[in-house]
Chain A
Amino acid sequence: MSRWLPFPLLSAGLLTMWLLLNQTVAVGHILLGAALALCIAWGTRAVQPSKTRLRRLGAIIRLFFVVLGDIIRSNAAVTWIILRPGQRRGTSSFVDIPLELRNPYGLAVLACIITSTPGTLWAGFDSATGVVTVHILDLIDENAWFDIIKGRYERLLLEIFE
């Protein structure tokens, strides 16, 4: 199993990507895609990525919809900040948030979530103290951001990765 299929999730993802790209479920393409997925996963062993386990499918799905909702909401918020008339003083600032999450994959997912959400930016992570620096475009209540990042995202990511 681990010799021929070192990264099953990666291989499955690559196969899905191949079939989506070719828009087919023909047997030939499944075989070709499977061969490609196995070869790439096998080659990935050379990079020696650390293994991790994904847990709780429910938490993954919940995280997806929470992030989707937040992205739609913050799109509206940032659109308003940009389009509102008059000269406004910006309230953007850096915020330090201590995290319990240590799994590198979990942190990478959190970084992608925070950066791709309009209005927040991942500006750095101190691995010694576990403090993440986030740049926030419209900072009104620092505690609200603590609740969003720790309570909403980190809790689910801890469930998934640790």
Chain B
Amino acid sequence: MTFAAELPAWAALLTAALVLLGAGLAFTGSLGLLRFSSFYERVHAPTLATTLGAGCVLIASMIFFSVLQTRPVVHEILIAIFLALTTPVTLMLLVRAALFRDRVEGRTYDEAKTRALPTVKNAPGPGRLAPIQAEPNELPPTRHPDNGDEHDYR
């Protein structure tokens, strides 16, 4: 990356800070994926990487290339839009599938929360970082009938 040497100091610092922040958030999200004990909690973690994490990296990319090419480079916005549209759909699909499976298998929310993936639960794992324990609670599905409501936006 010899051409990066032409970058002025302020832009280099800003880019570096934003990339580090974005990478840090993505790493924290991955760590959360490992630390949380239940599926429903785990789904929260990767959103760190797809919202602010990705946002920081994209803004860094915009600054870096705009300054280098001395013209506004903004097509990173498209990546942000596609991420904002696709990630929630995927996560909702996963949560609906998990709720459905827990309901079919007759598992309560309490059991679902403490049930961790066996590989993670039994692994010697991340040292001091023990899984965050969950408190008993209720699954919500009693209201949701399984007999196909066709106007179901769930």
Residues of A within 8 A of B (CB): 17, 20-21, 23, 71-72, 75, 78-79, 81-83, 85, 87-94, 96, 104, 107-108, 111-112, 115-129, 131, 133, 135, 137
Question: What residues on A are CB-neighbors of B40 within 8 Å?
Answer: 92, 121, 123, 135
Q: How far is the CA of A140 from the CA of B109 in the complex (A)?
A: 18
Assess the A90–B140 pair: CB atoms within 8 A. no
Assess the A116–B84 pair: CB atoms within 8 A. yes
Chain B residue at minimum C-beta to C-beta distance from A137: B44
Contacts known (A23-B75, A87-B130); A94 close to B140, Cβ less than 8 A:
yes
Give the top 6 A-B pairs by smallest Cβ distance, nearest first. A115-B88, A82-B32, A124-B154, A75-B52, A118-B47, A94-B140
Question: What residues on A are CB-neighbors of B35 within 8 Å?
Answer: 82
The A-contacting residues of B in range 6-27, CB under 8 angstroms, are 25
Assess the A107–B137 pair: CB atoms within 8 A. no
Assess the A127–B135 pair: CB atoms within 8 A. no
Question: What residues on A are CB-neighbors of B152 within 8 Å?
Answer: 125, 127
Q: How far is the CA of A129 from the CA of B154 in the complex (A)?
A: 12
Chain B residue at minimum C-beta to C-beta distance from A76: B52
Instruction: Name B132's contact: one of A79, A88, A118 (CB within 8 Å).
Output: A88
Assess the B133–A124 pair: CB atoms within 8 A. no
Assess the A104–B128 pair: CB atoms within 8 A. no
Report 18 cross-chain contacts, Cβ distance below 8 Å, ordered by A residue.
A72-B52, A78-B48, A82-B28, A82-B31, A88-B133, A89-B134, A92-B40, A92-B41, A93-B135, A111-B88, A111-B153, A112-B85, A115-B87, A115-B91, A124-B140, A125-B153, A127-B149, A133-B140
Assess the A126–B144 pair: CB atoms within 8 A. yes
